[in-house]
A and B are shown apart, each in its own frame.
Chain A
Amino acid sequence: MSISKQIVDDFVANDIAFVTTVPCKQLGGVIEEVEARPEIYHIPSNKEDEGMGLCAGAYMGGKRPAIIMQNTAIGVTINTLVTLTQFYRMPLPMLISFRGELMEPVACQAEMAIHTKPLLQQLGIPTYHFHKQDDVRELDAILKYTFMSSKPVAILTDATFWGGY
């Protein structure tokens, strides 16, 4: 089974029914899989903070949301994570491509990669890092933990996890 299919199976098994995305090359497969599932309303957003607003509304409307985005979007969404998702105490699984790690071909990506974990730690966001393919086995537990704790939770997925570029 493909890794993207496994991930989206876990989404569906955890009743995630509203997913917003901003593409990253590494996330192409998983976004395609989200789009293909009838259980999920896929709503592409133009910016990740907008996407988090959509997710907040969906959550209050009774649907479990998730966002799929690149780690550079942490820089875009800090205010929203703090003053909306955390302040109103809402759950939000964030499946994040961790660009700028080993095997990265684009130098600019290394810049935000350096800041990604420190920013998440500073924000008090529980963070999991998928490096080996097997790490995906923890996703189900991470999703359950996210909705149990009503917090935004980051799942960083690096190039090694996705099998290179």
Chain B
Amino acid sequence: MIRSEILREIAPILRDQLVVCNIGLPSQELHMIDDQPTNFYMLGTMGLASSIGLGLALSQPKTVVVIDGDGSVLTNLGTLPTIANNVADNYILLIVDNGSYGSTGDQPTYAGKKTSLAKVAEACGCENVVECRAEETGEVLQKAIDGRKMTVIVCKCESGNVKVPVITKDPVVIRDRFMQAVAS
């Protein structure tokens, strides 16, 4: 399974949550599959999805699901200790680990080689870390939401992309729509 197939499968679960979605193809795919006011699309700033989601989870009570990528977590690896030491039980970090920088043409990342992001997260102090196969993502995600415990999910999947249009929505519109959904 590739990222877009996973997103299609978990879209019905994501619908009811606040979602912060990673730069590039993940946001474009989610936007195409199921655009919702509860989705915050990152149009730039590689690496900060997990940080934006944590700030959001710590500042209001609704559940926040971050759709992140292995490459983006690697570029902002300092995020994992911050997550571990600032527990928000309404926070779920879903790392779609396709072992590549998918959005830029599937160049391999170290997460697809010797580096285990699940083990890194554990070593950083994250308490609920689940590594799963792509096929299990929906089940694991639903369980994490229902469990109301801060969870890091590392979903191991294949790399590969589908053709998808870029997001042309104005960033201020995305942000304002999202903030209204957060506050409603």
Q: Which residues of A contact B (CB under 8 A)?
A: 18, 41, 43-47, 49-63, 65, 79-80, 83-84, 87-90
Q: How many residues of B contact A (CB 8 A)?
A: 34
Q: Is B78's CB under 8 angstroms from A56's CB?
A: no
**Residues on the B chain within 8 Å of A90, using CB:** 175
- Report Cα–Cα, A52/B49, bound state, in Å: 11
Residues 35-49 of chain B, each 1 if its beta carbon lies under 8 Å from chain A, else 0: 000001011110111
Q: Is B48's CB under 8 angstroms from A61's CB?
A: no
- Report Cα–Cα, A28/B59, bound state, in Å: 25
**Residues on the B chain within 8 Å of A60, using CB:** 40, 52, 55-56, 59, 175, 178-179, 182
Pick the contact of B48: A46, A58, A80 (CB < 8 A).
A80
- Report Cα–Cα, A59/B43, bound state, in Å: 18
**Residues on the A chain within 8 Å of B82, using CB:** 43-46, 50, 54
By beta carbon, the residue of chain B nearest A64 is B59
Say if the beta carbon of B25 comes within 8 Å of chain A. no
By beta carbon, the residue of chain B nearest A43 is B86
Q: Is B171's CB under 8 angstroms from A57's CB?
A: no
- Report Cα–Cα, A55/B59, bound state, in Å: 10
**Residues on the A chain within 8 Å of B52, using CB:** 53-54, 56-57, 60, 84
- Report Cα–Cα, A91/B3, bound state, in Å: 33
Pick the contact of A50: B57, B78, B178, B179 (CB < 8 A).
B78
Q: Known contacts being A53-B51, A88-B174, A89-B172, is A61 close to B60, with CB within 8 Å?
A: yes
Q: Is B55's CB under 8 angstroms from A65's CB?
A: yes
- Report Cα–Cα, A63/B54, bound state, in Å: 13
Say if the beta carbon of B79 comes within 8 Å of chain A. yes
Other contacts beyond A54-B54, A65-B55, A88-B172: 9, CB < 8 A: A18-B55, A45-B78, A53-B55, A53-B76, A58-B58, A60-B52, A61-B60, A62-B183, A84-B45
21 A-B pairs (CB sep. < 8 Å)? A43-B58, A46-B81, A47-B78, A53-B48, A53-B76, A54-B82, A57-B51, A57-B54, A58-B56, A60-B55, A60-B59, A60-B182, A61-B57, A62-B182, A62-B183, A79-B44, A79-B45, A84-B42, A87-B44, A88-B172, A88-B175
- Report Cα–Cα, A41/B108, bound state, in Å: 38
